[in-house]
Amino acid sequence: MRVPVLLVTGFLGSGKTTFINRLLLQDHGRRIAAIVNDFGSINIDAALLDSAADGVIGLKNGCICCSLQGDLMRTLKLVLSRDPAPDLIVIEASGVADPAGITQSLMDPVIWAQARLETVVGIIDATDPARQDDPLWQAQLRGSDVLCLSKTAMVDDPAKERLKLALSVQGRKLMLDMQEPVPLSVLFFRDAPLRAVSTAPLQPDNRFCHMEWHCETPLNLRQFQRVITALTPSLLRAKGFVRFESQPAVTLFQLAGNRVALSRAPECRETGSTLVLIGEHGIFDPETARRALDQLRNTDL
């Protein structure tokens, strides 16, 4: 019997990890293997999922549908060879990934004999309607079977209805709201037809660039906020674990668009601070960002 595969796609910062975490924490009694892809060599999402997933395998240094196709295939073979085998495999695509590339990879005869892609879930950030003109966002929407709206509590009802109307004209897709529990049973369809392979050109991820930053000494909170505020206009996404001088626990840092959040991190092995910053070439300059962050190493500022 083939293991069903659930692919979760969505733009940078849309809420994919939150969606998967909620699925993993449900009382469904199923063994789930989660395969998580981060854009960069620091796999923040895998660390966030590590305490909830039956087995999390993080893929690094690029996009699953492009440079990491080979790694995805090897990872799937490894997961499928486990004894006992998982009941379900959940793949979180990078926020810069065109899901059509992953779909094509999963059609490989060796994988297809053991695992079947059942559903592609597209996570849509309700607070970012301007993103709808982005070609990668459109590709992610086009490749999804189910749409799940995230952050709807942050928009008013008229804005939510406008978004639903805009999405509905893209095609008849099941539309869910992450404010409500999403049981696994809703995401799978009986007698689903064989999935057609997309012939549209894949959206490249080379329009994006990123940088990674580490610091072993605790940071000053106000200085950190000042630097991040200055960098925010050039960033699409940033995330990481931060240790501040005034707080013994590790802080989870998240930036999506212009929204920044600091919260207590789950149990974490990090001894210092680890950040990943992502932006577009020509807008985000990794070296400028590195110099700004390096100033935080000087505690006399």
The residue-averaged pLDDT of 197-218 equals: 82
Band of the pLDDT at 301, cuts 50, 70, 90?
Answer: very low
Q: SS3 for 230?
A: helix
The pLDDT of residue 204 is above 80: no
Q: Where are the domains of the chain?
A: 3-187, 208-297
Q: Which residue has the higher pLDDT, 82 or 227?
A: 227
* Calpha distance 169→171 (Å, rounded): 5
* Calpha distance 128→155 (Å, rounded): 10
Please report how the helices 99-106 and 69-80 are oriented relative to each other, as an axis angle in degrees rounded to 10: 50
CB 219 within 8 A of CB 242: yes
Q: How far is CA 238 from the centre of its chain?
A: 12
pTM of the model: 0.83
pLDDT at 65: 39
pLDDT at 196: 62
The first and second tokens of residue 294, run together, are: 């390096």
* Calpha distance 270→241 (Å, rounded): 7
Residue among 241, 244, 266 nearest 252 (CA): 241
Neighbours of 165 (CB within 10 A): 9
The pLDDT of residue 146 is above 60: yes
Which helix (H) or strand (E) segment holds residue 252: the answer is strand 251-256
pLDDT at 299: 55
* Calpha distance 65→195 (Å, rounded): 17
Q: Give the tens place of pLDDT for each residue, 15-73.
A: 998 898 888 878 778 888 888 876 655 566 666 666 566 666 665 545 433 445 557 88
The pLDDT of residue 291 is above 70: yes
Q: Is the dihedral of CA 106, 109, 112, 114 positive or negative?
A: negative
pLDDT at 195: 62
Q: Give the tens place of pLDDT for each residue, 105-138.
A: 888 888 888 998 989 999 999 998 778 888 999 9
Mean pLDDT across the chain: 83
Q: Domain 208-297, what architecture?
A: 2-Layer Sandwich (3.30)
The pLDDT of residue 144 is above 70: yes
Residue 92 to residues 36, 97, 279: CA-CA distances in angstroms? Answer: 5, 10, 20
Q: SS3 for 49?
A: helix
Residue 200 to residues 3, 80, 138, 167: CA-CA distances in angstroms? Answer: 27, 30, 12, 20
Band of the pLDDT at 188, cuts 50, 70, 90?
Answer: confident
The residue-averaged pLDDT of 165-170 equals: 81
* Calpha distance 134→14 (Å, rounded): 14
CB 111 within 8 A of CB 73: yes
Band of the pLDDT at 7, cuts 50, 70, 90?
Answer: very high
Has domain 3-187 been given CATH number 3.40.50.300?
yes
